[in-house]
């Protein structure tokens, strides 16, 4: 069965899309830990990120970098932090999180409450800044 993220790529499940090319897809995390929290995935369904072959993994990182540059442009932050866990969804993904401080990357606490309108607005801004 297709992963939930493959179903997002296919448009079967809605998402706030940030960017897409032939190989990768970026969209807002549904439960952001910080404003602009974005996930980057390969369209090829691979569970564990370190099972991705080197060339594809390299291109995935380069794609994530372009997303991070767009996030930096529109969301006030010191850095865009990067995390990989994959304990919940068995489809490799990179978390890109605009942060002001280390604790902004904390995944164990309560998540942000963001309205659908605000998520749509954030996504539109990052999408526009994506080059
Ligand atoms: P992880 O697998 O890295 O532990 O966590 C999976 C991440 O995917 C979580 O941050 C969670 O909020 C996000 N997520 C899970 N299901 C969905 C979904 O259907 N849509 C979106 N946009 N994000 C999701």
Q: What is the pLDDT of residue 109?
A: 85
Nearest alpha carbon to residue 84 among 44, 112, 53, 51 = 51
pLDDT at 88 over 90: yes
Catalytic residue among 37, 91, 93, 95: 93
**Domain residue spans of the chain:** 4-130
Mean pLDDT in residue range 87-105? 96
Ligand 1 neighbours by CB, cut-off 6 Å: 4, 13, 15, 27-31, 39, 85-89, 93
What's the pLDDT tens digit per position in 32-49? 999 999 999 999 999 999
CATH for the stretch 4-130: 3.30.428.10
State residue 107's pLDDT score.
92
pLDDT for position 111 = 83
Task: Assign 3-class secondary structure to 19-61.
Answer: EECCCEEEEECCCCCCCCCEEEEECCCCCCHHHCCHHHHHHHH
Residue 27: per-residue pLDDT = 98
The percentage of the chain sitting over the pLDDT mark of 90, rounded to a whole number, equals 94
Active site residue 93: yes
Residue 110 has a pLDDT of 81
d(CA 124, CA 68): 15
Instruction: Indicate whether 20 pLDDT > 90.
Output: yes
Best mutation site among 9, 87, 89, 116 for ligand 1 pocket (most ligand atoms within 8 Å of CB): 89
């Amino acid at each position: 069965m297709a992963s939930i993220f493959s179903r997002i790529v296919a448009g079967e499940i809605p998402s706030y899309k940030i960017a897409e090319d032939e190989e990768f897809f970026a969209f807002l995390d549904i439960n952001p830990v910080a404003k602009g929290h974005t996930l980057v995935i390969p369209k090829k369904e691979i569970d564990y990120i370190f099972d991705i072959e080197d060339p594809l993994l390299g291109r995935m990182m380069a794609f994530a970098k372009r997303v991070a540059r767009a996030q930096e442009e529109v969301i006030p932050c010191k850095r865009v932090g990067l995390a990989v866990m994959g304990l919940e969804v068995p489809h490799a993904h990179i978390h890109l999180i605009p942060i002001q401080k280390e604790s902004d990357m904390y995944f164990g606490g309560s998540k942000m409450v963001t309205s659908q309108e605000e998520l749509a607005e954030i996504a539109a801004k990052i999408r526009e800044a994506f080059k």
